[in-house]
Structure 1
Amino acid sequence: MFDKIKKIFKKERNGSEMKKVLYITSNPKKEEKSFSLTAGREFINLYKQNNPDDEIIEINLYDIDIPYIDEDVFSRWEKLQSGKGFDELSDTEKEGVGKINMFTDQFIEADKYIFVNPMWNLSIPPKMKAYIDTVVIARKTFKYTENGPVGLLKDKKAVHIQASGGIYSEGPAKNLEFGNSYIKSVLGYIGIESVESILIEGTSMQQIPSDEIKNKAVQKVREVVKNF
């Protein structure tokens, strides 16, 4: 997996640079048993048809080790900030910081992002949060200024596909949704302002037929993918 992370794709298409797309999923279920993953696969398949030369890298966060930002990581960052070179770190220290750097650099190199996850306990799965923590890095994806933080990733696009058992886009639970709102907020924080949402809601509500939910999701996917 990390061989893929290290690759830098820069091919030419009709005289212009080919786009690099990250398809990031955080769901332990099999694709055929997941509303969000099924919609995500539909999106990717349609995107490939419309953009056959673009490079798509799939990142299943449940298949790889995502480093958590813990005491050891902070200690290693402090050493680097104090002037110590990366080569001066121990092999163990290099491995922890190196993995985070690989995810950060891969994210920066991409042009478009597709995030796919279920809504768990009103928010995103912990694996997705851990991944986000590896790409929201000061001086790489955002910087501090006298007027506050400024995002550094401009002219990029993202789509967030999220499935939830209840309905949170409207009604009494509207203020309890912290998954899609978090993804949009954190992407905006690092400069990615073009973010479309595909919300698949009511998947656990028996009064809403699953076929109706799936058809509505496919319709939204086809609508969004046209301009992505």
Structure 2
Amino acid sequence: MGKLLYITAHPLSEENSVSQQIGKEFLATYKKKNPDVEIVKLDLHNENIPLLDEDVLSAWGKLGEGESFESLTKEQQSKLGRINELTDQFVEADRYVFVTPLWNFSYPPTLKAYIDTFAIAGKTFKYTETGPVGLLEGKKAVHIQAAGGIYSEGPAQGMNFSDSHLKAVLGFVGVTDVTSIIAEGLALGTEKAEESKQTAMEEAQELAANFDKKGLLKRIFS
């Protein structure tokens, strides 16, 4: 059966977000091809995503020194409990879809906060004598993103740090099969924007239709 975790990080509605419109196209095609897969949606702007603040860091320190969970403050228990829920949810999934805008060469801070809840030693990676090892091998991910400018070529080439960072984090926890679908130039005029959006829509449909096929060569659209 399997489970796909569909993660969106945009404060605007789907009608006002190109990245979410492309994500919707991916999801619709994927559902048709994989009706038995459980799909879990996670809207980061409408979820409780704890920050790694003083409460959390202090609580982890206490637990590391042997104190019990019950000895923590109610606020610390609440935040750690929620982080544990999010980590377990991420581990239980087999496929991941991240849908984000590109903001100032990165993604919204809600996604960084979310990443901090699943990049947890002992759950998604472990330390060994030869270095860290990811524990989520064999899983796949897609990053769907919309950008106002052009970052795959020209003066700003290579400045889409969000896509490279997300791939690095996912690779660190063992998810090395990551495909990007990025609609660029959406702020450069109606014709260019529509062309870029349409291309991304077609790529989303194609990838979704073949996402679960074994042995499929990974395609990088960015």
TM (normalized to structure 2)? Answer: 0.91
Cα deviation, residue 207, structure 1: 6.5
**Root-mean-square deviation (Å):** 1.2
Q: Which residue of 2 aligns with 1:93?
A: 76
From 197, 201, 206, the counterpart of 2:189: 206
Post-superposition Cα deviations, 1:78-103, rounded to whole Å, max 9, x if no partner, equal: 11111222233333221011010000
SS for the counterpart of 2:85 is: helix
Matches of 2:36 and 2:209 in 1, distance apart?
Answer: 16
Matches of 2:27 and 2:111 in 1, distance apart?
Answer: 19
Deviates more, 1:83-92 or 1:68-77: 83-92
Deviates more, 1:89-98 or 1:20-29: 89-98
Q: Which residue of 1 aligns with 2:217?
A: none
Amino acid across the alignment from 1:74: L
Q: Which residue of 1 aligns with 2:37?
A: 54
Post-superposition Cα deviations, 1:84-127, rounded to whole Å, max 9, x if no partner, equal: 22233333221011010000000001100000000000001100
Post-superposition Cα deviations, 1:130-151, rounded to whole Å, max 9, x if no partner, equal: 0011000111111112221111
Q: Which residue of 2 aligns with 1:15?
A: none
Q: What is the aligned length?
A: 211
Q: Which residue of 2 aligns with 1:39?
A: 22
Cα deviation, residue 214, structure 1: 2.1
Deviates more, 1:76-85 or 1:35-44: 76-85
* 1:1-228 superposed matches below 5 A: 18-206=1-189, 208-228=191-211
Matches of 2:196 and 2:158 in 1, distance apart?
Answer: 22
Judge conservation of contact 1:202–1:208 (CA < 8 Å) in 2.
Answer: no
Cα deviation, residue 30, structure 1: 1.3
Amino acid across the alignment from 2:115: I
Judge conservation of contact 2:125–2:133 (CA < 8 Å) in 1.
Answer: yes
Q: Which residue of 2 aligns with 1:4?
A: none
Matches of 1:185 and 1:23 in 2, distance apart?
Answer: 19
Amino acid across the alignment from 2:92: E
Judge conservation of contact 1:19–1:111 (CA < 8 Å) in 2.
Answer: yes
